[in-house]
Amino acid sequence: MEMVNIKINGVDVQAPQGSTILEAARLANIEIPTLCYLKEINAIGACRICVVEVKGARTLVTACVYPINEGMEIFTNTPKVIESRKKTLQLILSDHDKKCTSCVRSKNCELQKLCHDYGVDDADRFQGVANKFELDDSAAHMVRDNNKCILCRRCVAACEKTQGIGVIGANERGFATFIGSAFDMDLADTACISCGQCIAVCPVGALYEKDNTKEVFDAIADPKKHVIVQTAPAVRAALAEEFGYPVGTDSQGKMFAALRRLGFDKVFDTNFSADLTIMEEGTEFLDRLNNGGKLPLITSCSPGWIRYAEHYFPDFLDNLSSCKSPQQMFGAVAKSYYAEKNNIPKEDIVCVSVMPCTAKKFEIGREDQAANGVPDVDFVLTTRELARMIDRAGLMFDALPDEEADAPLGLGTGAAVIFGATGGVMEAALRTVVEIVTGKEAPSLDFVDVRGIEGVKEATYDVGGTTVKVAVASGTANARKVLEAVRNGEKEYHFIEIMGCPGGCVNGGGQPIQPASVRNFVDIRAERAKVLYEIDKNNPLRKSHENPAVKELYDTYLEKPGSHRAHELLHTKYKARDLYK
């Protein structure tokens, strides 16, 4: 790789040919602030926060898009640069709803931090007309508050480029510009898949999930209710970030301890129903493979992906596994098997789930998600919402002990925990399917070909003499590539795993929000996924079919995977949806 010699603030720096000033400065351990830039998807130089001086240039240049060249001299912190950035921040604030004390992003707002760093204590320097917008709270999962939007267009880039959907964009022109849907439609009336990737990249409080913490606190305080909670695999790989821990910290034990101290009657684990999902989905796959069923079978754990398929690929709905997601399976079992076993009326059980995913808030209101005549799941909290509950309860997270989930619905295997990473569902399924087909212990449980954060992965395996071709895709833009290749006859697979968010649930729209200064230079997907694979490696149970709690459920209640009772509780249907109502 050809290297370029430059100077930054008088210091000699080498950086690869083709690097921008922003990238070169990072290599020299200099952080140039940004508000609009996101690596690979939003290099537009629009916010003007990253401006720097370049010797010989007539004006300040934007570091995020300006390429370096041999001998260039750059200055990142001159009085001229600092004054420009400060003035830009003041201009942004002139049309910004400055209710910082009550904003959901206070203390984790990139605009707020920059204003503090640059000493912007005269936020009303540029007074004049300000835009006023109504909140769009039409969607089941999120709220858009354009009064706090800074027009960075990160959300637009995430929706269009990362997810390949593009249901939001810039409307109007000039000072009247705002981010919204085509024809200013409500978000609920578009083909939004509720993935929340727009929330994850927003630098301010313009986008946020619908908060259910009050309803959950109220349920816990109701003596007539038996309130149980389940936690998704990916939550434990990210929750600690909300309390100052580095990306890639395992918080499983402290998470269970916190939930118990919040007052939940039982603390369970979605890993239990992830194992259950493998039993049902693996059985379904083998039935289709051996009896001429519709192939490829496509996984159904990700509600964002399911909604995407219903909107954009309705011709593939027969390929989807009929299995409910692990979240919904858990609720169905909790309000039948668990309720009956403990003599608790199902109507008195409040099932709360903690998820890395905003689409789960949409999922609980889908049709056919009330197997026992009551909703399978009552409330969904994102990882961020759980952190807010812990804060409000005054729990000192770093001082909490490590505890375990409650039996029996708290027992999960290593195969279940890797559901949170792209390729994890496929790997978990292969561990079970191989042993069921061959009747022998698999020589290795690590199907490394389907691991990693690549958007699309392929592998071929010999399963008891049958060649099985598999594919894994994460992010709906990558899902489109795979499905179009199948549709056009370019690719042939037997089994496909699709997750709605890039990298899988570890990078879900409900996970802790990391600023661009982290997202652009640290692969948070890979760091969080490492947590899950480490938990899997150290778990004495690494195969779903060896989960004793799942075995007991089948022996005493469901009879066997794929039984009539299992279908009543654990399976669902799908429907084609119009792109616009």
Report the chain's mean pLDDT, rounded to a whole number.
96
Query: How much is the average pLDDT of 292-305?
Result: 97
Q: Is residue 17 over pLDDT 90?
A: yes
The pLDDT tens digits of the residues spanning 188-226 come to 999 999 999 999 999 999 999 999 999 999 999 999 999
Q: Domain extents for the chain?
A: 3-77, 214-570
Residue 306 has φ and ψ, to the nearest 5°, of: -60, -45
Exposure string (b/e) for 111-147, b if CB count within 10 Å is 16 or more? bbebbeebebeeeeeeeeeeeebeebebbbbbbbbbb
Query: How much is the average pLDDT of 559-568?
Result: 97
Share of the chain above pLDDT 90, in %: 97
Q: Is residue 170 over pLDDT 70?
A: yes
Fold designation for 3-77: Ubiquitin-like (UB roll) (3.10.20)
The pLDDT tens digits of the residues spanning 475-534 come to 999 999 999 999 999 999 999 999 999 999 999 999 999 999 999 999 999 999 999 999
Give one word for 56, left, alpha or beta, with left for phi > 0 and alpha for psi -120 to 50: left
> Which pLDDT value is given to residue 564?
97
Q: Is residue 581 over pLDDT 80?
A: no
Neighbours of 463 (CB within 10 A): 17
CB-count exposure of residue 260 (10 Å: 0-12, 13-18, 19+): middle
- CA–CA distance from 428 to each of 39, 126, 305, 498, 550 (Å)? 32, 57, 19, 14, 15
The pLDDT tens digits of the residues spanning 80-128 come to 999 999 999 999 999 999 999 999 999 999 999 999 999 998 767 888 8
Round to whole Å and give the CA distance between 340 and 346: 8
Round to whole Å and give the CA distance between 353 and 414: 20
Run of H or E residues at 231: strand 226-231
What is the number of residues in the chain?
A: 581
Query: How much is the average pLDDT of 143-164?
Result: 98
Confidence at 310, pLDDT banded by 50, 70, 90:
very high
> Which pLDDT value is given to residue 115?
96
> Which pLDDT value is given to residue 580?
63
> Which pLDDT value is given to residue 55?
96
Round to whole Å and give the CA distance between 80 and 490: 56
DSSP 38: B
CATH of 214-570, one of 3.40.50.1780, 3.40.50.300, 3.65.10.10, 3.40.718.10: 3.40.50.1780
> Which pLDDT value is given to residue 1?
80
| pTM, 2 dp | 0.96
Round to whole Å and give the CA distance between 290 and 304: 30
Exposure string (b/e) for 283-299, b if CB count within 10 Å is 16 or more? bbbbebbeeeeebbbbb
Confidence at 130, pLDDT banded by 50, 70, 90:
confident
DSSP 196: -
